Amino acid sequence: MTSSYDAIVIGLGGMGSAAAYRLAARGLRVLGLERFTPGHDRGSSHGGSRVTRQAYFEDPAYVPLLLRAADLWEQVERDSGRDIVTYTGGVMIGRPDSRTVAGSKLSAEQWGLAHDMLDAAEIRRRFPTLNPADDEIALYEAMAGFVRPEESVLAHLQLAGQAGAELHFEETVAEWAAEGSGVRVTTDQDTYTAGRLVICPGAWAPDLLAGLGVDFEIERQVMYWFAPEGGTAAFVPESHPVYIWEVDADTQFYGFPAIDGPDGGAKVAMFRGGRRCTPETIDREVHDAEVEAIRTHLRPRIPALPGPLLHAATCMYTNTADEHFVIAAHPAHSQVTVACGFSGHGFKFVPVVGEILADLAAEGSTPHPIALFDPARLLPASRKAHP
Ligand SMILES: Cc1cc2nc3c(=O)[nH]c(=O)nc-3n(C[C@H](O)[C@H](O)[C@H](O)COP(=O)(O)OP(=O)(O)OC[C@H]3O[C@@H](n4cnc5c(N)ncnc54)[C@H](O)[C@@H]3O)c2cc1C
């Protein structure tokens, strides 16, 4: 039997859970479809923590979205009763002309964000676990910290359900098609129709959004939890910031305080530089050589951190060529809205992306500045001229 809805959301991970909630909260009849279980670990939104920050070296254009996200996280925490965001402060470390430092500083100055610039001695004094080289500096901001991704997904699903959304798990979308002014979605279990479709496919973008013509690169990433030498006391979130450390133009790592108690270790990971994969072929095993590689970066810089490895897990980035997101109406079907290509830095935007997707799907436009995320920029010149 075919059931009909105002809007269908495909993918109930980080972004889709937020879109389903915001659409249902506006009174639309929403169906959410997800191939796995709520808060699963097969996509891009698991592993216990994500960095959030406001000074944004990737581009100052992201800052207003981050300011809105901070307000929305607060509302989602309040309404769901879940603990999602913790502001520990954050340091962006590197040489003064590095993208991490110079880009963060530029965006902080452009938007008047509160921040301090710290020289190497000041970094060591304020954060004794960190041991920068004498010519490295940092931008510190208090409004950085961590988001708990699984809690965010569960909170948005909870609020979506309370607002009347119908949410189906372990149901895989086989195909979708525009039909008249609406859409038809076929799963492994049923067929549904709706006036609007929102597609938040994460690493499955190459399958579900092949028609966009955009090349998405799926990248395997590893998260490592180390038991610091001397215990976690020096790494507690009350005094230890999140950090991003630019070693050189091609090498950044980032990490968190010990947010899971004395036995949970502290998480650290490389930012980019992983192997290309697909959701079907990703190697979920973590190899000794990769553990040794990250230890090599950590030993001189955070000497106490790389004690015994407690745990490691893989995750996928969905990269665009310029590492900016894709959030837009589908160029060929105005009733379809897409959100993908978050290029390893999307989670901190989840609630504002949900709001933007609800704007685009329900109203056809959004007051938020999203020009940077237009997929047309990623198309070969020939396709741009003849869409
Ligand atoms: C290791 C790692 C570290 C990261 N660190 C940070 C960070 O510190 N800060 C930050 O801001 N961002 C970070 N990110 C990026 C951020 O986590 C992602 O941008 C974000 O989680 C992407 O959300 P999403 O909704 O696009 O994908 P997902 O959460 O993966 O959601 C996509 C969903 O679609 C479902 N789906 C796909 N195909 C189908 C189908 N055919 N039928 C039904 N359902 C389907 C999937 O099962 C999945 O649940 C990190 C990512 C990784 C992997």
Rounded to whole angstroms, how far apart are CA atoms 242 and 87? 9
Mutate to test the pocket of ligand 1, among 66, 92, 151, 345 (most ligand atoms within 8 A of CB): 345
What spacing in Å lies between the alpha carbon of 338 and ligand 1's midpoint? 14
* Residue having the nearest C-alpha atom to atom 46 of ligand 1: 11
The whole-model pTM stands at 0.98
266 alpha carbon to ligand 1 midpoint, in Å?
22
Atom of ligand 1 nearest to the CA of 146: 8
Helix (H) or strand (E) run with residue 161 in it: helix 149-162
Higher pLDDT, 70 or 386: 70
Tell me the pLDDT band of 369, cut-offs 50, 70 and 90.
Answer: very high
Residue nearest (by alpha carbon) to ligand 1 atom 31? 13
Mean pLDDT value across the chain: 97
Beta strands in the chain (DSSP E): 3-10, 30-33, 50-52, 85-87, 90-94, 116-118, 137-141, 145-147, 166-168, 173-179, 182-187, 191-199, 217-226, 242-248, 251-255, 266-271, 309-319, 326-330, 333-340
* Residue 385 pLDDT greater than 80, yes or no: no
CB 316 within 8 A of CB 342: no
The CB of 172 under 6 Å from ligand 1? The reply is yes
Most informative mutation of 219, 277, 347 for ligand 1 (most atoms within 8 A of CB): 347
Rg (CA), the chain: 21
**Probe residue for ligand 1, chosen from 17, 41, 45, 219 as the CB with the greatest number of ligand atoms within 8 Å:** 45
The per-residue pLDDT for 1 is 55
Ligand 1 mean position to 76 CA, how many Å?
19
Q: Which atom of ligand 1 is least distant from the CA of 349?
A: 11
Number of Cβ within a 10 Å radius of residue 177: 11
Contacts of residue 32, defined as CB under 8 A and 6 or more positions apart, other chains included, come to 8, 9, 12, 16, 17, 20, 157, 160, 165, 166, 167, 168
Which residue is it, tokens 């996280």?
Answer: 73
CA 202 to ligand 1 center in whole angstroms: 5
3-state SS class at 279: coil
Q: pLDDT, tens digit, for every residue of 265-311? A: 999 999 999 999 999 999 999 999 999 999 999 999 999 999 999 99
Q: Is the dihedral of CA 53, 62, 197, 174 positive or negative?
A: negative
Q: How far is the CA of 326 from the centre of ligand 1 (A)?
A: 13
pLDDT by residue (tens digit) across 181-216? 999 999 999 999 999 999 999 999 999 999 999 999
pLDDT at 382: 61
